[in-house]
Amino acid sequence: VDRAAASEGSGMPPRVLLGNLEPVVRLGMSAVLADEEIDVIGAEARPGPLVLLAGRLRPDAVVLDVHTPPELADRVRAAAPEATLVLWARDEDVMEVVAPGDAARRRVAEPSPGDLRDELWRSGAGRRSIAMPE
Amino acid sequence: VKLFVLDPHTIYRRGLAASLELMPEVDAVGHAGGMQDARGIEQADLVLLDPAAGPGLVAELGAPVLVCSSEASEDAVLGAMRAGAAGYLRKDVLTPESLAAAVRAAVSGNRVMAPELLGNLLENVSLEPDRPHGARLTEREQQVLTLIAAGHATREVAEQLCYSERTVKNVLHDVVTKLNARSRSQAVAFAVREGLI
CB atoms B11 and A23 under 8 Å? no
User: Hey, how many other C-beta atoms are within 10 angstroms of the C-beta on B154?
Assistant: 18
3-state secondary structure chain B: CEEEEECCCHHHHHHHHHHHHCCCCCCEEEEECCHHHCCCHHHCCEEEECHHHCCCHHHHCCCCEEEEECCCCHHHHHHHHHCCCCEEEEHHHCCHHHHHHHHHHHHCCCCEECHHHHHHHHHHHHCCCCCCCCCCCCHHHHHHHHHHHCCCCHHHHHHHHCCCHHHHHHHHHHHHHHCCCCCHHHHHHHHHHCCCC
- Closest listed residue to residue A27, CA positions, set B136, B51, B160, B100: B100
Sequence-distant (≥ 6) Cβ neighbours of residue B118 within 8 angstroms: none
Contacts of A25 in chain B (CB under 8 A): 11-12, 15
Amino acid at B16: L
| Alpha-carbon B3 to chain mean position | 19
Whether B33 and chain A come into contact, CB under 8 Å, resolves to no
Q: Measured between CB atoms, which of A27, A29, A113 is closest to B96?
A: A27
Say if B19 is an interface residue toward chain A (CB within 8 Å): yes
**For chain A, give me the number of helices (H) and strands (E)?**
6, 6
- Which pLDDT does position A134 carry in this prediction? 46
Interface of B with A in 83-112 (CB under 8 A): 91-92, 94-96, 99
What pLDDT does residue B131 have? 57
**pLDDT above 50 for A1:** no
Please, which pLDDT band fits residue B150 given cuts at 50, 70 and 90?
confident
Higher pLDDT, B194 or B22: B22
Q: Does B14 contact A88 at a Cβ distance shorter than 8 Å?
A: no
Q: What's the rounded Cα separation, in Å, for the pair B87 and A107?
A: 35
- What's the rounded mean pLDDT across residues B164-181? 88
Q: What angle do CA A91, A34, B45 make, to 5 degrees?
A: 60
What pLDDT was estimated at residue B117?
A: 84
Average pLDDT over residues B33-53: 95
Are B112 and B94 contacting, i.e. CB atoms less than 8 angstroms apart?
Answer: no
Q: Would you state the pLDDT for residue B181?
A: 85
Contacts of B162 (CB under 8 A, 6+ apart): none
A27 touching B (Cβ < 8 Å): yes
Q: What does DSSP assign to residue A83? A: P
Which of the four pLDDT bands, split at 50, 70 and 90, describes residue A8? very low
Q: How far is Cα B50 from Cα B44, in angstroms, rounded to an integer?
A: 16
pLDDT at residue A10 in the model: 58
Asked if A92 lies within 8 A of B11 by C-beta distance, the reply is: yes
3-state secondary structure of A18: strand
Higher per-residue pLDDT: A11 or A16: A16
A111 Rama class: left (phi>0) / alpha (psi -120 to 50) / beta: beta
Residues 6+ apart with CB under 8 A from B55: none
pLDDT tens digits, B85-109: 999 999 999 999 999 999 999 999 9
Percentage, residues of chain A above pLDDT 90: 78
pLDDT at A132: 54
In the predicted model, what is the mean pLDDT of chain B? 89
Could you tell me if B57 and B64 are in contact, meaning their C-beta atoms sit under 8 angstroms apart? no
* DSSP SS3 for A42: strand
What pLDDT is recorded for position B125? 66
* Residue B60 to chain A, least CA–CA distance (Å): 24
Residue B48 CB contacts under 8 Å (≥ 6 apart), including other chains: B3, B4, B5, B6, B7, B16, B20, B65, B66, B68, B103
β pairing state of A106-109 and A94-98: antiparallel
| Res. B54: pLDDT tops 80 | yes
C-alpha A45/C-alpha A100 separation (Å) is 22
Residue B102's pLDDT is what?
96
- pLDDT value of position B92: 92
Contact criterion met (CB < 8 Å) for A24 and B96: yes
Predicted confidence (pLDDT) per residue in A64-117, tens digit:
999 999 999 999 999 999 999 999 999 999 999 999 989 899 999 999 999 999
| CB < 8 Å from A in window 119-148 of B | none
| A24 with B92: Cβ contact below 8 A | no
Report the pLDDT value the prediction gives residue B194, as an integer from 0 to 100. Answer: 80
What confidence score (pLDDT) does residue A9 get? 47
The per-residue pLDDT of chain A, averaged, comes to: 90
Position B129 confidence tier, pLDDT thresholds 50, 70, 90: low
pTM over 0.80: no
Task: State percent of chain B over pLDDT 90.
Answer: 56
Q: Note the pLDDT of residue B190.
A: 84
Query: Which of B10, B16, B52 has the CB atom closest to A24's CB atom?
Result: B16
Instruction: Please answer yes or no on whether B13 and A31 come within 8 Å at the CB atom.
Output: no
Helix (H) or strand (E) holding A30: helix A23-35
**Which member of A22, A28, A116 has the closest CB to residue B14?**
A28
> What is the percent of chain B with per-residue pLDDT over 70, rounded to a whole number?
94
